[in-house]
Amino acid sequence: MKNEKWKFETKVIHVGGEPDPTTGAIMPPIYQTSTYVQSSPGEHKGYEYTRSHNPTRTRLEECLASLENAQHCLVTASGLSASTLIMHMLPKGSRILCGDDVYGGTYRLFSKVFPDIHQFKFVETTNLANLEKEMESFKPALVWLETPTNPLLKISDIQAISALAKKVKALTVVDNTFMSPFFQNPLDLGADLVIHSMTKFINGHSDVVGGALMMNAQELRDKLFYLQNAIGPAQSPFDSWLVLRGIKTLAIRMKAHEQNAMKVAAYLESHPKVERVIYPGLKSHPQYELGKKQMKGSGGMITFFLKGGISESRRFLENVKLFALAESLGGVESLVDHPAIMTHASIPKEVREGLGIFDNLIRLSVGIEDIDDLLQDLDIGFAKV
């Protein structure tokens, strides 16, 4: 059951969510199997072994492809394993031009795991003229964008950058984790590949680690599928099923995250103990207009700088309670993170501080709890600073 005209809110529930044809069960079964019986060697029903294919995972891939307006989707065991597959797809010695502000684990993967295989250059991607020069001199095979970035929420122009990359025959990859397919669809803007950490908003319940790759080109899909099967980072059927369950509420969750985040951002912006707030929905955001153009909303992530340093940050982080101090983001519950010590610790201090990730920078993943309770929790944290 799939209707090309369905809106997001319908697709997210019904594509891949068809009743089980055998029993009529309204919820898809978890095909908790590693292998599949063949009637004669090589004769089977399209499924041979769960590392390669699994019907529960197939349903999730169908759903995600439709949400990103993609022809194809591959679901992987984690966001980073999806990134790893892209790196293995490139010929040895490829050049990758990567945004300078990316998730710490992505930075570590590129700068510590792959530097003997490929060449990486980390550059500022919000300045198009500068980026065009970098593309012409570095001649990348691939341009890697996170937008908005983690944790500084910088917004890069996907349409313009994809067009520049095409001119130098480079692929454009967009990590769309922070916006989810509900608020941003990079393939529609010219990107070649979209990657998600499904661990975050897509699953939304902080109980699964997973990744996804979406693309239109059959050739890209075939290369990445080959590598996924050959290397092995497939998601388990149970985890795919949990994501199928969590994703059904993605649209209403994203609206609720945004509604709360907008109020939290406004609260922070007027707070005397806050130096600066970064949120795509605030007019003070440096790429506010671009965000309005390429995103359908502002999301649930906020970054702010406390007045003070590490001791003020620690006091705030130890005293908020509803905002749980934990890595990750995108769940229904609010989380708070200290990137310099937690999620971005693998980035050398001088690089981190060069970007502006100081000890007074705090990242919020605003959940969908009652806004008054969230603001009260922040009040308690600030009172102890």
Buried residues in 322-335 as b, exposed as e (16+ CB within 10 A): bbbeeebbbbbebb
Pick the catalytic residue: 11, 57, 103, 337? 103
Choices 51-59, 101-109, 117-125, 372-380 (CB under 6 A): range interacting with ligand P1T: 101-109
Pick the catalytic residue: 101, 175, 359, 377? 175
Based on the shown chain and the rule CB under 6 A, indicate whether residue 203 belongs to the binding site for ligand P1T: no
Based on the shown chain and the rule CB under 6 A, indicate whether residue 333 belongs to the binding site for ligand P1T: no
Closest CB to ligand P1T among 277 and 364? 364
Task: For residue 103, indicate whether it is catalytic.
Answer: yes
Based on the shown chain and the rule CB under 6 A, indicate whether residue 211 belongs to the binding site for ligand P1T: yes
CA–CA separation, 326 vs 71, rounded Å? 35
Cβ at position 149, least distance to ligand P1T in Å? 8
Choices 26-34, 49-57, 77-85, 376-384 (CB under 6 A): range interacting with ligand P1T: 77-85
Write out the H or E segment, with its range, that includes residue 194: strand 193-197
Taking CB under 6 A as the criterion, the residue among 15, 268, 278, 329 binding ligand P1T is: 329
Based on the shown chain and the rule CB under 6 A, indicate whether residue 228 belongs to the binding site for ligand P1T: no
CA–CA separation, 68 vs 291, rounded Å? 18
Based on the shown chain and the rule CB under 6 A, indicate whether residue 80 belongs to the binding site for ligand P1T: yes
Specify burial of residue 314 (Cβ count, 10 A radius: 0-12, 13-18, 19+): middle
What residue type is assigned to position 382 of the chain?
F
CA–CA separation, 201 vs 179, rounded Å? 8
Cβ at position 98, least distance to ligand P1T in Å? 12
∠ Cα 155 280 188 (to 5°): 50
CA–CA separation, 257 vs 252, rounded Å? 9
Cβ at position 368, least distance to ligand P1T in Å? 18
Task: For residue 200, indicate whether it is catalytic.
Answer: yes
Closest CB to ligand P1T among 150 and 294? 150
Report 341-370 residues binding ligand P1T (CB under 6 A): 343
Look at the block and give the residue holding tokens 């680690």.
Answer: 209
CA–CA separation, 174 vs 261, rounded Å? 23
Task: For residue 51, indicate whether it is catalytic.
Answer: yes
Choices 136-144, 234-242, 281-289, 325-333 (CB under 6 A): range interacting with ligand P1T: 325-333
Q: What tokens appear for 19 in the block?
A: 């009743």
Half-sphere exposure of 75 (CA within 13 A, CB side): 32
Taking CB under 6 A as the criterion, the residue among 84, 150, 180, 298 binding ligand P1T is: 150
Q: What tokens appear for 384 in the block?
A: 């102890």
262 C-beta neighbours (distance < 10 Å), count: 21
Taking CB under 6 A as the criterion, the residue among 71, 249, 328, 346 binding ligand P1T is: 328
- Residue of minimal CB distance from ligand P1T? 79
- Decide: 142 and 114 in contact? Cβ < 8 Å: no
Active-site positions read: 51, 103, 175, 200
Contacts with ligand P1T by CB under 6 A lie at 78-80, 103, 105-106, 146, 150, 175, 177, 197, 199, 209, 211, 327-329, 337, 343
